Structure 1
Amino acid sequence: MKDVERIDTVRQYNESMGVDTLHPLVSVVDFDEIPTYHQFQRYMGIYAVFLKYIKCGDMRYGCQPYDYEDGTLVFIAPGQVYGISSKGEIIKPSGKALVFHPDLIVGTHLGNHIKDYSFFSYDVNEALHLSKKERATINDCFIKIVSEIDSNIDKHSKRLIVSNIELFLNYCMRFYDRQFITRTNVNNDLLVRFENLLKGYFQSDLPHNLGLPTVAWCADQLHLSPNYFGDLIKKETGNTALDYIQSRIIEEAKNKIFDPKKSINNISSDLGFKYQQHFTRLFKQRTGMTPVEYRNLN
């Protein structure tokens, strides 16, 4: 694969795709209207959302490959690297891309809440797969954004463009919620693996070696991005992944507290706490009493 190409502006992206720049901070590119191209790898300094209709090469996000399926949305945030691996073949893509510079949303409601759209940090294999009806809705959003970009820029342009991008992202959030629901069997399997992962963690030397299990560590062990993992656990259980982990820690602590041979400090260390006072604080937050009070009560 070629050296990493750096894309820091909308104009740079448009030039790389061979299209004109109508607005300096935002662009919608129709892949049906651009020439064919070979494989590439890019560092993105701008936001990008890719809608692919058909398979057109293996997309790579960091080091992870992903085969496009019909009607797939992939989200790229500034600071991420993506590329297309064509295996030497000429690529003729079909779909669209929405790219916008962070400056476009500075000081707007979207700019203040862009981190709420956690799917910008999902791995590419956690992409959003659209139904035909959902794809029609997304295409309608693209049409509205393009209409504003094609219009003469005036004092209303930025607000309307940003509002339509925010509407687009809100639809994506709704469709991701649907995807979590329709993959219930897969998600239930993940919860079982998550529970077994935590059980095995506390039955090993990992608490002494690594400390408390973190959301990032659990996600990595389950081959998921931290954000996707956290969102999935929240959708399935109603609690955050951190809450789930802490509940498991307290269950382990309660079992160990019944062992009179173990001091509270020993239990704290066995669970992976660096300091006993941190263990005592968490235990009281979750149970309403200190470990000593819980031991004496039982």
Structure 2
Amino acid sequence: MSESIAQKSKLDSDLLFKIAPMKPVIKTTRPHGHRSYFELIFLTGGGGRHWIDVDGYDIVPNALYIIQPGQVHFWEMTAIPSGYVVMFRDDFLIEHHLSAQDLAAAAQALNGRGLLPEQAGQVLELLRHIEAEYLVSGQDSGKILASYLNILILRLKSWSDNGHSVPKDPTFLQRFRTLVDTHFRTSRQVQYYADLLAISPKYLNDQARKAAGVTASDLIDERVVLEAKRLLLHTDLTIAQVTFDLGLQDPSHFSKFFIRKTGISPSDYRESIR
């Protein structure tokens, strides 16, 4: 176990999009993140366990995983994997008017789940079309790849909508969460984010309640707790070091905050999850 979470990049800095077959090797990777791009992974075979943030998923046939920028993941493979990994930057989504919010909804509903045979067949067919176009790399390949990816995202969204609520204002929620992801170590004050969004704290709280059913302060605290859990699970940092990494100053205050939000102390959480 390391004392920090590594950041890896399998997508060259000059690329916005890439698809590749899963490497046919059995290995355990160390916890790491990809700050600047999404990974969409579809496994047709393999075995073991895949961790995303603090959630562990048994690897099952036709498993789908969507890893968003900033998330931490690692593999504990026990059988040779097969399938595809698709990597794309947020700029690729923006350029081609694709929805990061739909991806997030699909990740929440489908991550680690084995798709039904009919669903898996549709995903595999789309990924094979994407791979073929990626290898051709023609003049309009970017648009064609975006079209295939959009179809895939919409398919996943349609399968994830059943039984899962969709935020009433996803655009606002995404903007706010992006700011919190960037600045939560600097400030946990609602006023700080209201200023960045050029709105009042009351309006920010009202919009957060409409979009997520909780206050803006609750969303900020959720992000701090998630990062604390990542560090407690994936590193050997002491509680004091975790406190300072989060931009906080008092380990005792952090422990009380963590207990209030989770019902368990940081040290007990670390012991229970490992």
Instruction: Extract unaligned runs of 5+ from structure 2.
Output: 165-208, 219-274
1:175 aligns to 2:176 (yes or no): no
Secondary structure (helix, strand or coil) at the match of 1:109 reads coil
Larger radius of gyration: 1
- Which residue among 166, 182, 199 is the counterpart of 2:150? 166
Letter in structure 1 aligned against 2:90: P
1:93 maps to 81
Cα distance in 1 for partners of 2:51, 2:105 equals 16
Q: Distance in 2 between matches of 1:140 and 1:102?
A: 24
Of residues 122, 141, 152, the one that matches 2:126 is 141
**Residue matched to 1:131:** 116
The match for 2:44 is 53
Distance across 1 between alignment mates of 2:137 and 2:96: 21
Partner of 1:247: none
Residue by residue over 1:162-197, the C-alpha shift from the partner in whole angstroms, topping out at 9 and shown as x without a partner, is 11111111111122245x49xxxxxxxxxxxxxxxx
Q: 1:127, 1:216 → 2: CA distance?
A: 27
Q: Which amino acid aligns with 1:7?
A: K
- Deviations 1:39-97 (Å, cap 9, x if unpaired)? 322212211111123452211111221112221111111111111135xxx65222221
Q: Give the Cα–Cα distance (whole angstroms) in 2 for the partners of residues 69 and 91 of structure 1.
A: 11
Q: Distance in 2 between matches of 1:132 and 1:117?
A: 21
Indicate the SS of the match to 2:73. Answer: strand
Q: Which residue of the partner structure matches residue 101 of structure 2?
A: 115
Matched to 1:75, the amino acid is I
Map residues 1-298 of structure 1 onto 2, 5 A cutoff: 1=1, 4-8=5-9, 10-11=11-12, 24-31=15-22, 33-45=23-35, 46-86=37-77, 92-110=80-98, 113-119=99-105, 122=108, 126-154=111-139, 156-177=140-161, 180=163, 215=213
Q: CA–CA distance in 2 between the matches of 1:215 and 1:69?
A: 33
CA–CA distance in structure 2, aligned partners of residues 133 and 117 of structure 1: 20
- Partner Cα distance (1:60, 1:172) in 2: 21
Shift of 1:104: 2.0
Would the aligned equivalents of 1:30 and 1:95 in 2 still touch at CA under 8 Å? yes
1:230 aligned residue? none
Tell whether the 8 Å contact from 1:40 to 1:85 is kept in structure 2 after alignment.
no
Report % sequence identity.
Answer: 15
Listed as ranges, the gaps of 5+ residues in structure 1 are: 13-22, 182-212, 221-298
Q: Distance in 2 between matches of 1:115 and 1:170?
A: 11
Query: Mean alpha-carbon deviation: is it higher for 49-58 or for 131-140?
Result: 49-58
Distance 1:63 1:117 in 2: 19
RMSD: 3.2
Q: Does the CA contact (< 8 Å) of 2:43 and 2:84 recur in 1? A: yes
CA change 1:152–1:107 in 2 (3 A) is closer
Q: Which has the higher contact order (CA 8 A, sep 6+)?
A: 2
What residue is the counterpart of 1:282 in the other structure? none
Is the CA contact (8 Å cut-off) linking 1:56 and 1:94 kept in structure 2?
no
The one-character-per-residue Cα deviations of 1:140-175 (angstroms, maximum 9, x if unpaired) are 110111111101331x12111111111111111122
Task: Return the letter of the residue paired with 1:129.
Answer: G
Could you tell me how far 1:117 is from its partner in structure 2? 3.2
TM-score by length of 1: 0.49
Supply the distance in 1 between the matched residues of 2:214 and 2:75 (Cα, whole angstroms).
27
